[in-house]
Amino acid sequence: MLGMTKYVAADLSRSVEDYLKVIYQLTEGGIPASTTAIADALDLSAPSVSGMVKRLAEAGLVEHQPYRGVSLTKDGRHGALRMLRRHRVIETYLVSHLGYTWDNVHDVAEKLEHAVSEDLVQRMSFKLGDPQFDPHGDPIPAADGKIIDVTTTPLPEIPAGENVTISRVDTGVADRLRWLAGAGLVPGVMITVLDHQPFNGPVTVSLNGDRRVIGRELAAHLLCARDLG
């Protein structure tokens, strides 16, 4: 299991767990997260976030450099990966065995991830065959904290004429997920980029010979794996 310190133990408060997970997601690209971005992600006020960040830094879970942002320490990263594993295993189990769909599973997993035991998560993962990805294409951290490093490119950045595979869908908004599922734009499918309209216009792709026109804002949530040979 994850090598937790006394700060990253099973009795972390729910709010600390939420902070660690959000900071991890905001800093996946290697850039520290601003307190404003953290506040927006958690729907909290900036002053309350600043106070919590200070406490997390005192606990050794984050590093905060004024005017540069917040990043996780090794211990904070361990705690974040522990929560991501819980969340993504639960989502996968709910979709695979309990009839949930990828657009309605997120909020349920958000509640359950704070309540389940490590043993239950491990049993769920074993029952699923220890999957490496959740229904949205997000990598599931292993029990030892290792996580697959997936290189992706947002769909709007891919030139016309290129064939790519949708790897991840980076949104938890239910109506967007329902639309994407209805259009067949889900992780694992191959598409061909046909056209980019100028001035932030839509992206047109081909899926099994059928055209799909996707607004650029939504297309940015489709993270694709490119075969650059």
Whether 73 and 139 map to the same domain: the answer is yes
Judgement on whether residues 60 and 162 belong to the same structural domain of the protein: no
Query: Both 3 and 72 in a single domain?
Result: yes
Last residue of a domain, one of 119, 148, 177: 148
The amino acid present at 164, given as its one-letter code, is V
Residues 86 and 23 in one domain: yes
Supply the pLDDT for residue 122: 97
Tokens of 103: 């657009």
Q: Which domain holds residue 118?
A: 1-148
- The answer for 199, left when phi > 0, alpha when psi is -120 to 50, beta otherwise, is left
Calpha distance 172→106 (Å, rounded): 7
Domain holding 41: CATH number? Answer: 1.10.10.10
Q: Number of C-alpha atoms within 13 angstroms, CB side, residue 58?
A: 6
Q: Are 99 and 208 contained in the same domain?
A: no
In sign, the C-alpha dihedral spanning 162, 192, 216, 34 is negative
* Residues of the chain under the 70 pLDDT cut: 1-12, 228-229
Our count of domains for the chain comes to: 2
C-alpha–C-alpha distance, residues 71 and 80, integer Å: 12
Pick from 214, 160, 169: which is nearest to 192 by CA?
Answer: 160
Domain final position from 125, 148, 171: 148
Q: Which two tokens stand for residue 64?
A: 């905060």
For position 202, what pLDDT does the model report?
97
Residue 188 sits in a domain of what CATH number? 2.30.30.90
Q: Answer yes or no: do 98 and 14 share one domain.
A: yes
